[in-house]
């Protein structure tokens, strides 16, 4: 009973945070499209491109991808190949999904953990972009946050699949 309540709370938290992150990613994507459109117009009509627009687009892409992955996992829109697993009984499918989700969770826990150390080295090395001299470590922090939100969503999936596997 406590496990079900814990899964329900984890589900609420992961749903809310991934939806908020996806909303932010959508806003950044719209800004990125606007920046690119204005840069193209200024470049070809007035021969006056926006300096550093490529760097800004790269930084915006980090935000879009980092914050969009959790929502994609929440909606179950990631790539899956169910050719063999779909032919198994329900309990076996739940076991296979538990194993796959656990491997995915471990991978992204490792990515989040190592990204933290990479962010520290970026901060200590004072790495900046080459044209606008924007520090890179804040974007690494955003990537860590996005990966952590993805870990929450996948942890919820692991527990749900495990509960399906052991359910009678």
Model pLDDT for residues 75-115, shown as the tens digit of each residue: 887 777 777 777 888 888 888 888 989 999 999 999 999 99
Q: Work out the number of other CB atoms within 10 angstroms of the CB of residue 108.
A: 22
pLDDT at 96: 87
Q: Give the pLDDT band of residue 48 (cuts 50, 70, 90).
A: very high
Please say whether the beta carbons of 14 and 153 come within 8 A.
yes
- Do residues 19 and 71 lie in contact, with contact meaning Cβ atoms separated by under 8 Å? yes
Q: Using 50, 70 and 90 to split pLDDT, how confident is the model at 40?
A: very high
For helices 2-45 and 137-166, the axis angle rounded to 10 degrees is: 140
Q: Give the per-residue pLDDT at 1.
A: 62
Other Cβ atoms within 10 Å of 113 Cβ, number: 11
Q: At which residue do the structure tokens 């959508």 appear?
A: 26
Q: Which domain holds residue 36?
A: 2-166
Closest to 139 in 3D by CA, of 38, 16, 28: 28
- The total domain count for the chain is 1
Please tell me the pTM assigned to this model: 0.88
Q: CA–CA distance from 119 to each of 60, 113, 123 (Å)?
A: 17, 10, 6
């Amino acid at each position: 009973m406590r496990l079900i309540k814990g899964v329900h709370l984890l589900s609420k938290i992961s749903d809310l945070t991934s939806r908020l992150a996806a909303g932010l990613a959508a806003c950044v994507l719209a800004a990125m499209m606007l920046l690119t459109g204005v840069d193209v117009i200024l470049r070809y009509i007035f021969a006056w491109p926006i300096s550093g627009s490529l760097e800004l687009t790269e930084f915006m892409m980090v935000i879009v991808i980092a914050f969009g992955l959790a929502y994609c996992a929440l909606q179950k829109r990631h790539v899956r190949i169910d050719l063999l697993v779909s032919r198994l009984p329900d309990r076996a499918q739940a076991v296979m999904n538990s194993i796959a989700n656990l491997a995915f969770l471990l991978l992204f826990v490792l990515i989040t953990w190592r990204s933290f150390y990479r962010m520290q080295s970026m901060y200590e090395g004072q790495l900046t972009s080459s044209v606008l001299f924007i520090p890179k470590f804040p974007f690494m922090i955003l990537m860590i946050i996005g990966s952590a939100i993805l870990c929450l969503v996948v942890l919820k999936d692991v527990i749900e699949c495990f509960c399906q596997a052991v359910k009678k």
